[in-house]
């Protein structure tokens, strides 16, 4: 067989195989949101096996990384880590290591030790009441990424104060989407997408298509991508309205206050862990500094938009501009 014929035969085999794949989807509530999985599998039993294995991994990660569950690994380890170094799981170590890296890169704008502040603001949203300056000050004293120490050699953590609280809400869902996708890939399913509300991770293109069509943040842009993670963070997703102002669920650790600017960041990376951390980090930094942070990391691209006085101001990072847009 000459080369061209062989290639034609191979292409037929691939498309015949792709045509055999069927589309399946599943939805389950986890981590206070809905997890959706879309995949192409040869038959229903293989799809079901993949859904079960992926959701089991999500459940495991929720038990490790949740700050809502009093006996999550995160909460138990943080309590004990004020007394002695605590050995942590590979998952918690991966999430905390990237979190601390982003904190360093953003001068603490991103900070998973903001737990005391996020709890205070959750209560404030429930009561429709701003936290008092005293309460904010007291909570701030219990925060600060420099009070959290990781030892990569022994895979342990320590914290400086007994009443610290970590909150991985800005980064855990991106990591979980990554990990659920890995489980599906390891079962031999190569075209799948995992969505944890605004955090997506996906593998090869759906059969016969160039990629997954992904809408970008609040824009009307659609990208066609494969083997990427896309995370969107909106400052106005959850907020407290008080005195005519919108205080976001995203907190500026420098002031202890919810963000007041209406910013939306879509971060794109090969790793959901990084994309999810980066969308929140860039939101706190604001448009210009947020873009500079994205540009510095070769693993990141982003689309940032901010609404002010009825006008939308949008910025695209250099790597974002090179991504494949659907021709409108
Ligand atoms: P995301 O939707 O990915 O932007 O994550 C928002 C969540 O991140 C909030 O609900 C808090 O749990 C957490 N968070 C808020 N402010 C910060 C911050 N400055 N650094 C890290 N995590 C934060
Ligand atoms: Mg995030």
Query: What CATH number corresponds to the domain at position 148?
Result: 1.10.3980.10
Task: Please check whether residue 16 lies inside any domain of the structure.
Answer: no
Q: Is residue 3 scored above 50 in pLDDT? A: no
Query: Which pLDDT band, with edges at 50, 70 and 90, does 324 fall under?
Result: confident
Q: What is the pLDDT of residues 55-97, one digit of tens each?
A: 999 999 999 999 999 999 999 999 999 999 999 999 999 999 9
Q: What is the pLDDT of residues 121-179, one digit of tens each?
A: 999 999 999 999 999 999 999 999 999 999 999 999 999 999 999 999 999 999 999 99
Task: Evaluate: CB of 189 within 6 angstroms of ligand 1.
Answer: no
Helix, strand or coil, per DSSP, at residue 110: coil
Task: Evaluate: CB of 111 within 6 angstroms of ligand 1.
Answer: yes
Task: Evaluate: CB of 108 within 6 angstroms of ligand 1.
Answer: no
Among 16-20, 146-150, 151-155, 314-318, whose mean pLDDT is lowest? 16-20
Q: What is the pLDDT of residues 292-301, one digit of tens each?
A: 999 999 999 9
Q: Is residue 8 scored above 50 in pLDDT? A: no
Task: Evaluate: CB of 249 within 6 angstroms of ligand 1.
Answer: yes
For residues 175 and 114, state if they share a domain.
Answer: no
pLDDT mean over 209-217: 93
pLDDT on residue 234 = 87
User: What percent of the chain clears pLDDT 70, i.e. is strictly above it?
Assistant: 93
Last residue of a domain, one of 177, 208, 239: 208
For residues 100 and 128, state if they share a domain.
Answer: yes
Provide φ and ψ at 39, rounded to 5°. -155, 165
pLDDT on residue 4 = 40
For residues 131 and 234, state if they share a domain.
Answer: no
Helix (H) or strand (E) holding 200: strand 199-202
For residues 84 and 200, state if they share a domain.
Answer: no
Which residues, 6 or more positions from 33, have their beta carbon under 8 angstroms from its beta carbon? 173, 196, 197
Query: Which pLDDT band, with edges at 50, 70 and 90, does 19 fall under?
Result: low
Last residue of a domain, one of 144, 178, 208: 208
Residues of the domain holding 320: 210-328
Which residues, listed in sequence order, are joined to residue 312 by a DSSP beta bridge? Answer: 307
pLDDT on residue 220 = 84
Write b or e for each residue in 87-97: b if 16 or more Cβ atoms lie within 10 A of its Cβ, otherwise e. ebbebbbbbbe
Which residues, 6 or more positions from 235, have their beta carbon under 8 angstroms from its beta carbon? 248, 250, 259, 261, 262, 263, 264, 283
Nearest CA to ligand 1 atom 6: 170
pTM of the model: 0.93
pLDDT on residue 73 = 98
Task: Please check whether residue 6 lies inside any domain of the structure.
Answer: no
Task: Please check whether residue 61 lies inside any domain of the structure.
Answer: yes
Q: Which ligand is nearest to the CA of 264?
A: 1
Distance 86 CA to ligand 2 centre (A): 26
Among 137-151, 212-226, 275-289, whose mean pLDDT is lowest? 212-226
Distance 66 CA to ligand 2 centre (A): 15
For residues 328 and 244, state if they share a domain.
Answer: yes
For residues 139 and 188, state if they share a domain.
Answer: no
For residues 216 and 328, state if they share a domain.
Answer: yes
Look up residue 147 and give its DSSP letter: G
Please check whether residue 206 is in contact with residue 227, taking contact to mean a CB–CB distance below 8 angstroms.
no
Distance 151 CA to ligand 1 centre (A): 24
Distance 144 CA to ligand 1 centre (A): 14
Pairing status of strand 262-269 against strand 257-258: unpaired
Distance 232 CA to ligand 2 centre (A): 7
pLDDT on residue 1 = 40
Nearest CA to ligand 1 atom 1: 170
pLDDT on residue 248 = 95
pLDDT on residue 15 = 44
Provide φ and ψ at 57, rounded to 5°. -65, -40
Residue 263: CA atoms inside 13 Å, Cβ hemisphere, count? 27
Task: Please check whether residue 1 lies inside any domain of the structure.
Answer: no
Overall number of domains in the chain: 3
For residues 188 and 155, state if they share a domain.
Answer: no
pLDDT on residue 260 = 94
pLDDT on residue 114 = 98
Task: Please check whether residue 278 lies inside any domain of the structure.
Answer: yes
- Tokens standing for residue 133: 């300056």
pLDDT on residue 18 = 61
Provide φ and ψ at 104, rounded to 5°. -60, -45
Pairing status of strand 245-248 against strand 86-87: unpaired
Q: What is the pLDDT of residues 174-206, one digit of tens each?
A: 999 999 999 999 999 999 999 999 999 999 999
CA dist 36 and 184 (Å) reads 13
Q: Is residue 235 scored above 80 in pLDDT? A: no
Query: What CATH number corresponds to the domain at position 177?
Result: 3.10.520.10
For residues 105 and 232, state if they share a domain.
Answer: no
Task: Please check whether residue 57 lies inside any domain of the structure.
Answer: yes
For residues 175 and 273, state if they share a domain.
Answer: no
Task: Please check whether residue 198 lies inside any domain of the structure.
Answer: yes
Residue 103: CA atoms inside 13 Å, Cβ hemisphere, count? 23
For residues 53 and 182, state if they share a domain.
Answer: yes
Helix, strand or coil, per DSSP, at residue 287: helix
For residues 202 and 216, state if they share a domain.
Answer: no
Task: Please check whether residue 29 lies inside any domain of the structure.
Answer: yes
Task: Report the chain's C-alpha Rg in angstroms.
Answer: 21
Long-range contacts of 187-192 (CB under 8 A, 24+ apart): 187/46, 187/49, 187/50, 187/53, 188/46, 189/39, 189/40, 189/41, 189/46, 189/47, 189/50, 191/21, 191/39, 191/40, 192/37, 192/38, 192/39, 192/40, 192/50
């Amino acid at each position: 067989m000459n080369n061209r014929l062989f290639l034609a035969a191979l292409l037929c085999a691939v498309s015949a195989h792709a045509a055999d794949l069927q589309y399946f989807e599943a939805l389950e509530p986890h981590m206070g949101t809905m997890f959706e999985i879309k995949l192409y599998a040869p038959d229903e039993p293989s799809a079901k096996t993949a859904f079960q294995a992926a959701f089991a991994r999500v459940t495991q990660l929720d038990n490790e990384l949740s700050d809502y569950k009093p006996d999550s690994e995160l909460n138990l380890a943080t309590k004990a880590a004020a007394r002695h170094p605590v050995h942590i799981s590979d998952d918690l170590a991966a999430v905390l290591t990237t979190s601390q890296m982003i904190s360093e890169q953003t001068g603490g704008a991103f900070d998973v030790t903001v737990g005391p502040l996020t709890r205070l603001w959750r209560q404030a949203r429930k009561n429709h009441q701003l936290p008092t300056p005293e309460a904010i000050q007291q909570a701030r004293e219990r925060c600060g990424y420099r009070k959290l120490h990781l030892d990569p050699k022994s895979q342990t953590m320590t914290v400086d104060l007994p009443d610290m609280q970590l909150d991985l809400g800005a980064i855990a869902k991106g990591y979980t989407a990554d990990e659920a996708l890995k489980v599906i890939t390891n079962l031999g399913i190569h075209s799948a997408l995992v969505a944890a509300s605004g955090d997506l991770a996906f593998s090869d293109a759906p059969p016969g298509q160039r990629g997954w069509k992904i809408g970008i943040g609040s824009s009307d842009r659609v990208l066609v991508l494969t083997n990427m993670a896309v995370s969107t963070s909106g400052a106005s997703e959850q907020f407290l309205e008080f005195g005519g102002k919108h205080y976001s669920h995203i907190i500026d650790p420098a002031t202890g206050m919810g963000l007041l600017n209406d910013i939306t960041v879509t971060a794109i990376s090969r790793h959901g862990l990084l994309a999810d951390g980066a969308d929140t980090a860039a939101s706190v930094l604001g448009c210009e500094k947020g873009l500079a942070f994205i540009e510095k990391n070769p693993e990141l691209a982003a689309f940032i938009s901010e609404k002010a006085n009825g006008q939308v101001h949008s910025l695209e990072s250099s790597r974002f501009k090179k991504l494949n847009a659907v021709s409108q």
